[in-house]
Amino acid sequence: MEVSFALTGKDYVIIAADQNAARSIIKMKGDEDKIKALGSHLLMAYSGEPGDTIQFAEYVERNLRLQQMRNNHPLRPQAAASWVRRSIADSLRSRNSYSVNILLGGYDMAENTPKLYWMDYLGTQSDVPYAAHGYGSYFALSLLDREVQKRLVISFPSFRVKVVDAEGVREVDVDMSV
C-alpha cells in the first residue's frame, strides 16, 4: 500500500514518496523518509518488502559511496541505475532476494540532463520521463494532476518531496491541505 512518484522536467527530476510505515492494519510511523540521496546529484525512492527496502537502500548507498571514494568521482545516473538494476537482478536468483521497487532520479552533470529510471524487484529497468510505483502507478499518466489526491483510494496524509537539479539535491515542502 505504498506509493512513489517521479517526473523529469527540463533541468530537474522531482521525486515524491509517501511517509507511512505500516504493518498490515497498524500504522507504525507517519514520518518515514523513503527517498535516499545517493550522492550530490542522485536520488532513490524505494518501496516494497519492509526490511528489504532499508537493507537494500543502505547497501546501494554505501556501495555507491565506495565507488566515489575509490575513483574520486561519482557514478553518473545511467551507470548507477545499471549497478542498482544488476544488484536486484542478481539477488532475484539467489536464495533470499530483495523485494524492492525503485525510482532512481539524477541529474547528469556531464550531459546536463535530468535522468529517471523505473525499476522493479525483478530487475526490470526503464528510462522514462515520469514514473510511479504502487497503486499510484495506475494514475501515472495523470501524475501531478490534482485528481490523484481525489481519486486515489488510499489517500496519504503527507508526502516527502525531493528535487535534484544542477544545484544538487534539496528537499521541498508541499502543502497537502490544498
Beta carbon of residue 178, minimum distance to another protein (angstroms, whole number): 28
Q: What angle do CA 170, 172, 176 make, to 5 degrees?
A: 160
- Using CB under 8 A, pick the residue from 124, 142, 149, 155 that binds another protein: 124
Instruction: Give per-residue burial for 155-172: e unless 16+ CB within 10 Å, then b.
Output: ebeebbebbbbeeebeee
Rounded Cα distance, 118 and 133, in Å? 8
Residue in 86, 154, 155, 167 binding another protein, rule: CB under 8 A: 86
Give me the least distance between CB of 104 and another protein, in Å please.
14
- Measured CA to CA, the distance from residue 100 to residue 95 in angstroms comes to 15
- Residue 16 or 81: the one with the smaller Cβ distance to another protein is 81
The count of chain residues that interact with another protein, using the rule CB under 8 A, is: 19
Taking the least distance from each CB to another protein, the nearer of 22 and 89 is 89
Q: What dihedral do alpha carbons 132, 172, 100, 69 form, nearest 10°?
A: 130
Q: Check residue 142 for interaction with another protein (CB under 8 A).
A: no
Q: How far is the CB of 77 from another protein (least distance, A)?
A: 16
- Segment near another protein (CB under 8 A), from 2-10, 68-76, 117-125, 156-164? 117-125
The H-assigned helical ranges of the chain are 52-71, 77-92, 147-151
Q: Is 63 among the residues that bind another protein (CB under 8 A)?
A: no
For the chain, what's the residue count? Answer: 178
Contact set with another protein (CB under 8 A): 82, 85-86, 88-89, 92-93, 118, 120, 122-128, 131, 137-138
